[in-house]
Amino acid sequence: MVSLSRCSNNYGPYQFPEKLIPLMIANCLSDKPLPVYGQGLNVRDWLYVEDHCKAVDLVMRNGAVGQVYNIGGHNEMRNIDIVRLICQELHKPESLITYVTDRKGHDLRYAIDPSKIHRDLDWLPDTKFADGIVQTIRWYLDNRDWWGEIVSGEYQSYYERMYGKR
């Protein structure tokens, strides 16, 4: 017995620092360039990680067997607007933004239609993007040891110390 879920882009605590939001936060805090693909016009639907977890739990408990549920955040935003918002929240200049060549074949828009999970399971995300991004920034401010070790390269060294080189 299987139900499936598909989600839009997640953000929140513990996201690996290579992803857009944590990368921009970490680079902002270090006054490093903020690399934005193309002109930053790529649009993504953003889903706070705790909302995603609640939706997956709901699908597991109440979803119909054999059905597919799209889990979306109802937060479509352009990448450049997210980067500017992070700069504003951290009181950093937008001059840190640097535009880099977009990846070949990079989709201009990633979004899904989450109307089925809303209609069938009465689910909507609890977290508005404006609140979730502030919570996320706060988490990265409060947990520099966690992500700092990763961006410094110590993460790999730790892994190799613990488990040996692969």
Domain boundaries, the chain: 4-163
For 44, residues 6+ apart whose C-beta sits below 8 A from its C-beta are 8, 9, 20, 76, 77, 79, 109, 110, 111
Q: What is the pLDDT of residue 41?
A: 96
Q: What is the mean pLDDT of each run of 10 residues along the chain (166 residues)?
A: 88 93 96 96 97 97 96 96 98 98 88 95 97 97 88 65 65
pLDDT value of residue 149: 80
Residue 41: C-alpha distances to residues 38, 81, 160 (Å): 7, 9, 39
Q: Is the pTM of this model over 0.75?
A: yes
**Farthest CA pair distance, the chain:** 52
Strand pairing report for 4-7 and 68-71: parallel
First to last CA, the chain: 37
Residue 15, pLDDT score: 93
The alpha carbon torsion through 49, 50, 51, 56 (nearest 10 deg) reads 90
Which pLDDT score, from 0 to 100, does residue 156 have?
61
Residue 106: predicted pLDDT: 85
CATH number for region 4-163: 3.90.25.10
Model pLDDT, residue 5: 93
Give the pLDDT confidence score for residue 124 in this predicted structure. 97
CB 102 within 8 A of CB 150: no
